Chain A
Amino acid sequence: MVHLTDMLQVMRGSPAYDVVIIGSGAGGGTAAHVLTRQGVKVALIEAGPMLNPARDYKEHKTPADYPHRGAGDHAESYLGRKDFGFFGAPNGYWEMDDEPYTVAEGSEFRWFRSRIVGGRTNHYGRISLRFADYDFKPRAFDGLGFDWPITYDDVAPYYDKVEDFIGICGSREGLRTAPDGRFLPPPALRVHEHLVQKSCAQLKIPCIPSRMAILTKPLNGRPACHYCGECGRGCMTASNYSSSQVQIFPAMKTGRLTVIPNAMARELITGGDGTVKAVSYIDKTTRQEKQIRCRVVVVAASACESARLLLNSKAPGHANGLANSSGVVGRYLTDTVGYGLSGYIPALAGMPKHDTDGYAGGHVYVPWWQLDKKNKEFPRGYHIEVGGGYGMPMVGSFNSICRSHEGYGAGLKKAILDGYGCTVGFAGRGEMIPNEQSYCEIDPTVVDRWGIPVLRFHFQWSEYERKQVGHMHETFASIIEGMGGRVLGNRKPEDPGAAISTPGAIIHELGTVRMGSDTKTSALNQYSQAHDVKNLFVADAAPFVSNPDKNPTLTICALSWRTSDYIAEEMRKGNL
């Protein structure tokens, strides 16, 4: 019989770390940056490989640089991709053969995972919106959902620190729904964005420069954006924020950060006193089981992955998982409400061609504008993202015109040429209110390739979210028609709410290890420290109590910074 200790390569001889961080995205990267700057010795484990931007980013490539034109060696673009696209920053997956998940009957959920140093921050949209004051106290505001144990004023100093460090461009507008930050100047607007802004003005809808984690001026040793328009592929010059390039690589240079790639966390190991003593993980390259000892652990594996790790960390005294005496771990899962509509804009037809790349994504956006309107059918707001311009022709770029025009030959070609750059798209991103039907739990029968029990998802949108989508449809159509355009697709759908995004598809899943002041209804305190386990912290979007109409990344960074300051201070005081 093989003894357990022979199978385990416990790193007893290796240096113990002050802090072990699990996950290297926005939360883990910020924690690594803040802690190492304060002299803390940190190990960071990441379930994917090390990132090499020069090798891994396809920033300035074109489809013609590859015989498969970016469709993939196995025609993935045509047959359904499991990943984020050939040109996208690497190792983001909708489906992973070796790491499955299950979805309960009657539910739908898509779970995006990123497996590489930097995680999703290598590709994300860089949209960087502060939560508003009422976003932290939604129940006090309209009686629905739950309040955070902190206020905007608690987080504001950390928004300042994050913005000063990573660099956000935007403009000061003085809107309650879109609190101003410390902004670098915004870039010029594209032609269609001028039209959108004027159409919005007619409708009395604010349309303002986007707030993006993109440098329009050099900052902290990083050069300004060179406007190649492909931020989602990863930026070789680190002119946009990624935790890998902006936080982790510099932290490694301090000598206080050890990154352990290809390390999939299995379980948090607790001692007799109930605190975490070590992190157990499997080395994916050798399939060897390892443990790493620590004084403090920061779990930042992404909201659902962090919940999974806690739920899988079962031991006498915490049979329902670690930090879960409240039973809320995995509960109150939310995603952003998504809906999109495009329009054909005749004013753009025949316009002199020019380079519209800019930075990736709209240079303008619409923050929520109906906060004080009481007679809505839905309680919470959304923001609008704007797309358009002369994009790089890619595999699939002209699918919809092929579908609508049909035919072939010179007529089809002319339709494609004439329509190029004349479409403007609108994407709504709205707030979902947490509900009891949406959660993740451990599937009792399925494990992944590493032997780790997988998640099973349950998810339901409510009428609040579906009604919000109906409002999005009417608003987008009005903006399109106001600029002289024609809605592409059904102008008067019978049930616009039916076109709501698939749960998980917007990749803003959060709330699964929420913070709170009541230990019976929350897992973490206001510093994202577990009520039950004083040396366990969570630093991704799992601690979020609400999922406002603002993309979560900036708030993940701010809260992780706040948590990391607290950890460093508590270590100095000898409390950790």
Chain B
Amino acid sequence: MSDIQRRDILRSAAIATALGQLTPASAQHVHQQAGEAKQANAGRYQPKLFNEQDYKTVTRLADLIMPPEGAAPGGAAAGAPEFIDLLCSGADRLAQTWLGGLAWLNSASLKRYETSFLEARPEQQTALLDLIAYRKNETPELAPGIRFFDWARRMVVDAYFTSPAGVKAIGFQGNVGMQTFQVPVEAINYALERSPFQRKP
């Protein structure tokens, strides 16, 4: 767990405590859990299932699916490789999907470019993904790749948008306490002006 995430939890616990809505015992519990999670995540992630080559391929796919933008992290820095490795290590069926899919990707790359997906040039990598990223391209040859990429896309998107970077990118502002539920008037007017129901002047 990053410091930013820990601060988020502590902040929301602090808000709830300030509103008198969390007992000191449960506030303490939240703090303790955040501390434990931080310890558990100390140090660099060691893959549990993937070998080095596969893990690097997953990392590359993560940034291709959700690319970094400037200083903002992409899928890899948002934790997609750890997430995917962890889940695969706990679920044989998912491990099968990923190991099989990664091997398929490598063999497809070898056939086309005489090198693994990881070693292929960026434009070769995207050319291959352009084939398997769309159901309309389905042929007997590409079908396994299309099926795999559907999983890869879903899981990288999930990992990215549930990470602090993804939450920031999408602009989620909830999960904090409010004394009275309020909706900004400018938001209401914005939508009304663009709707069939014009805002009353």
A residues touching B (Cβ–Cβ < 8 Å)?
A: 53-55, 60-71, 73-75, 78-79, 187-192, 194-195, 198-199, 223, 225-230, 236-237, 239, 346-359, 390-399, 402-403, 406-410, 412-413, 416-417, 420, 482-484
Contacts and interface: CB of A to CB of B under 8 A. Distances in A.
Contact of A412 (B65, B186, B196): B65
Interface in B45-65: 64-65
Given A239-B21, A393-B161, A413-B67, A356 B174 contact: yes
Given A347-B195, A398-B161, A408 B65 contact: yes
A80 to B, nearest CB: 10
B108 interface: no
A75 B163 CA distance: 17
Contacts of B194: 346-347, 349, 484
A187 B9 CA distance: 26
Contacts of A392: 172, 174-175
A350 B94 CA distance: 37
A71 B154 contact: no
Interface in B4-41: 5, 8-9, 12-13, 15-16, 19-23, 25-26, 29-30, 33-34, 37, 40-41
Contacts of B87: 68, 71, 74-75, 78
Contacts of B188: 191, 194
B139 interface: no
A190 B183 contact: yes
Interface of A is mostly: loop
B29 A55 contact: yes
Interface of B: 1, 5, 8-9, 12-13, 15-16, 19-23, 25-26, 29-30, 33-34, 37, 40-41, 64-67, 69, 82-83, 86-88, 90-91, 93-94, 126, 129, 133-135, 149-151, 153-155, 157-159, 161-164, 166-167, 169-184, 186-188, 190-192, 194-197
A188 B191 contact: no
5 contacts: A71-B83, A79-B94, A198-B195, A355-B173, A408-B65
Given A191-B191, A347-B195, A355 B83 contact: no
B151 to A, nearest CB: 8
B200 to A, nearest CB: 11
Interface of B is mostly: helix
Given A61-B9, A357-B181, A398-B161, 13 more contacts: A66-B37, A69-B159, A74-B90, A79-B91, A194-B192, A229-B175, A350-B190, A355-B173, A392-B174, A393-B170, A408-B153, A420-B170, A420-B171
A354 B184 contact: yes
A537 to B, nearest CB: 36
Contacts of A67: 40-41, 82-83, 86
Given A229-B174, A393-B170, A483 B196 contact: yes
A69 B134 CA distance: 27
A417 B169 contact: yes
Contact of A393 (B126, B135, B166, B180): B166
Residue from A62, A198, A348 having most chain B Cβ neighbours under 10 A: A62
B90 A63 contact: no
Contacts of A416: 157, 161, 170
Given A393-B166, A407-B134, A195 B90 contact: no
